[in-house]
Structure 1
């Protein structure tokens, strides 16, 4: 029997399984995807210092480019932000996820892909295992703790009525496109707030004539492909471009649990809401939450007390509470386009010490 089963092999799941194995817990990590790292689900940017603080060294085979400059472009107004103490890296996220999964395996965790967690095994109100499906075969795998790192609003969580949800919430409509075109010299990450301030585009250089173009919208009903094509033709004014692939197109919607677990189950990663409104630090936050979940699992196994989750909850809230308390969406709703244009015009070049999100930069102008 395993001590811990981790569901999901993204940054949070890999961090949890690696840390659990390092803590001497017999660990299994499962993922329903055909291979780790595919399909891509993030914007492929990280901070160098953030990863290194987590003990992850940047490796050339998944690093594309590094930046210390961000430009905010709104119509014919352009403002430059210099990052004094932070280096942003664009990466190959699929290779990165494979790398951190390999770290988990080397630490001693078992890994099963093409394996779906169908439901939790319950005994006297406590999660005591997971029912797994691989191909046409199903089996029950018992364990002492389950760490769930399977994303927002997963159907498997609906089987736990004790998880109280905060209600429907649309986080973003996103579309990320890998584009080949003559971009000219790109030496910064460029942000383009939309005229109605309900969406933003980002151009993230990946190398010569290659960039990720990302749309993030607070309007879940938009035709993301049409918006993207219009942006590339009429804003970037690319004479000729080709799309290698649309690497992400989804509505991040769901019900965020107000609890971070029930006896025998710990939620981590996106399912805790830790990455809302947070681009640059998203991977680092997810990875950190996985480490914290593993530490909580170790304490719960040693002490047999579910209340050991209180310390874990405090760490998660230190991140999510900061994001929620900024009321960023309310500020966007109350700011008109002329006001933003005026503030960008007056700002010129800013020097910025950033320890959180790209949205922290936009907030400087709100």
Structure 2
């Protein structure tokens, strides 16, 4: 997950794939040794849970050809470099790092272990043996905003968010645009956490927003605390990363899930057969990396049908969250950010540093 605002805004190199020279083929008689480094413990749901589900999918697909190691709850920074260095030194041929704060440590370790392949999830800097990948989370956010608007009685949603960096701003803006495509007067109130993972802080933010008339919640943080708070208060919420009906059976409207299994499988297979090259992947609904599923039991069939139909249109390229088909799109300060008849390029989306009209909040405290 992104941690550093200045680094996240450096989009120019995001789309400049770097290719390795001659890929090394793994020993066909031995399993590929791959490691996965997680920023939190592996919980029953959430960011890390979904990456671990991807690891398990790759393990199931490759069977004895793949051996995986997990190192969880690794703090971003110096400790991450120590862990990565130990993994490379101990014979791991492929290392997946699943938080933005691991990017710089991975680059330093990769320089010292040129034969080890690194996959930086949510990072943007690449070298011959460091690739990057991310998902278009904002696509799922837009679709979930449609569902949120259908389920909201107050027309007010709350959004608990980690840091005001482009990936998070994309989600807030897309969610708001999705809501306002159904209810033009919908409002989204934002509280910044200044952390990715702090269940107590996430819960407090959720309660504050519900006290401010938000009857639907969304979040960009790593625990299920927002879902639990919504369940306790009798409100609705959008699950993020994975299905959270286990803790919020009445509150969950749907889940915006991240699907990493296919990517992890393909990259591990590429190391084994010698075809691995560095590069960048930014996949969304069309690619199967983002999916809406796990509708809650209180969501009417008509709402489910509508949202799934919109998801299909998005997969076909017929819906673009950041397109202005009928009128200019303005930020919440009144400036035009998407002119009528145009849509944002990928570079513009990656450089996003504004909040759309309808969002009550600023880019920080």
Both structures adopt the same fold (TM-score exceeding 0.5): no
- Would you tell me which structure has more helix in proportion to its own residues? 2
Output the TM-score relative to the length of structure 2. Answer: 0.32
Bigger RCO of structures 1 and 2 (CA < 8 A, at least 6 apart): 1
Output the TM-score relative to the length of structure 1. Answer: 0.32
- Would you tell me which structure has more strand in proportion to its own residues? 1
